[in-house]
């Protein structure tokens, strides 16, 4: 399993992804699921992936090396696309192509579905964030709900629903994203450290931060402890129910 979240606020973009993959609970490994292309001031294309590792690796490989775009019949790659929107389109097409080719294996009852978060900007365009579905279609993150999630999304959704708005400051958004990971990892073994993190200010095609948070990370440990303590205190502070004392 996997958990990835992208948060797009007025100040910019934060993307977080865990690194645990599993094929059954007895086959757990660490794989990077958040990859950054460009990051040179000309283009920043950050891609987080959930689902079949073989599909996402192959789709990303093709989008990097270049593939024939279905609308123009030109070869395009993440290094040549003129916008982050076009990057999402190209990655969606790559996912669809890879899945179609793998259809022959369907008899083995393997699931080749994959979803992506694609965020960033090319040149000086505003930073944007997209969710690419397994069929290759995609949606864009908008200010009304300034985050997108893929993978094991439910455990960590309540805090995002409550706390993130488009006006949330960028480092506060990173913090809320990490709290969302803390809740998810507490309830689901299949999501685990390290967490990869990319932060970019809006309109900057170079990330302000590319960072990996591992088990030794003092800040994340403190965040975990504080959040756990705060929830306990919050729970204790609420009076017990008045309904006919049992």
By CB under 8 A, name the binding residues for a copy of itself.
11-12, 154-155, 157-159, 161-163, 170-172, 174-176, 178-179, 183-184, 186-187, 197, 199-201, 208-209, 211, 219, 222-223, 226-228, 230-235, 237-246
Q: How far is the CB of 46 from a copy of itself (least distance, A)?
A: 14
Q: 239-243: long-range contacts at Cβ-Cβ below 8 A with a sequence spacing of 24 or more?
A: none
Q: How far is the CB of 213 from a copy of itself (least distance, A)?
A: 8
Cβ contacts of residue 77 below 8 Å, gap of 6+?
A: 63, 64, 65, 66, 67, 90
Partners of residue 9 on adjacent β-strands: 12
Q: How far is the CB of 231 from a copy of itself (least distance, A)?
A: 6
Nearer to a copy of itself, 1 or 28 (CB): 1
Give the C-alpha separation, 135 to 204, whole Å. 30
Q: Let me know: does 2 contact 152? Beta carbons within 8 Å.
A: yes
Q: How far is the CB of 63 from a copy of itself (least distance, A)?
A: 26
Q: How far is the CB of 117 from a copy of itself (least distance, A)?
A: 18
Q: How far is the CB of 224 from a copy of itself (least distance, A)?
A: 10
Q: Let me know: does 46 contact 34? Beta carbons within 8 Å.
A: yes
Q: How far is the CB of 237 from a copy of itself (least distance, A)?
A: 7
Give the C-alpha separation, 184 to 154, whole Å. 8
Nearer to a copy of itself, 97 or 172 (CB): 172
φ, ψ (nearest 5 deg) of residue 213: -100, 115
Nearer to a copy of itself, 16 or 45 (CB): 16
Helices (H), the chain: 53-65, 84-102, 157-163, 170-187, 218-237
Nearer to a copy of itself, 69 or 223 (CB): 223
What CA–CA distances, in Å, run from 18 to 23, 24, 132, 207, 230?
16, 17, 18, 19, 24
Nearer to a copy of itself, 106 or 226 (CB): 226
Give the C-alpha separation, 153 to 145, whole Å. 15
Nearer to a copy of itself, 85 or 217 (CB): 217
Question: Distance between alpha carbon 113 and the CA centroid of its chain, in Å?
Answer: 16
Nearer to a copy of itself, 60 or 176 (CB): 176
């Amino acid at each position: 399993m996997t958990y990835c979240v992208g948060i797009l606020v007025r100040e910019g973009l934060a993307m977080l992804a865990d690194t645990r993959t599993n094929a059954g609970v007895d086959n757990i490994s660490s794989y990077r699921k958040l990859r950054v292309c460009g990051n040179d001031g000309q283009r920043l294309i950050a891609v987080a992936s959930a689902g079949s590792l073989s599909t996402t690796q192959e789709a990303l490989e093709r989008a990097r090396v270049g593939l024939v775009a279905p609308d123009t019949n030109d070869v395009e790659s993440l290094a040549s696309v003129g916008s982050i929107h076009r990057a999402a389109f190209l990655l969606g097409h790559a996912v669809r192509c890879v899945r179609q080719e793998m259809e022959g294996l369907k008899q083995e009852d393997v699931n080749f579905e994959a979803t992506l978060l694609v965020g960033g900007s090319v040149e000086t365009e505003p930073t944007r964030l997209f969710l690419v579905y397994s069929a290759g279609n995609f949606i864009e993150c908008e200010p009304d709900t300034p985050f997108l999630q893929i993978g094991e999304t439910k455990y960590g959704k309540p805090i995002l629903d409550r706390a993130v708005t488009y006006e949330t400051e960028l480092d506060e958004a990173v913090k809320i994203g990490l709290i969302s990971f803390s809740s998810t990892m507490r309830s689901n073994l299949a999501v685990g450290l390290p967490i990869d993190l990319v932060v970019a200010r809006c309109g900057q095609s170079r990330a302000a931060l590319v960072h990996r948070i591992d088990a030794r990370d003092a800040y994340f440990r403190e965040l975990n402890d504080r959040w756990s303590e705060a929830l306990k205190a919050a729970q204790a502070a609420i009076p017990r129910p008045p309904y006919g004392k049992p």
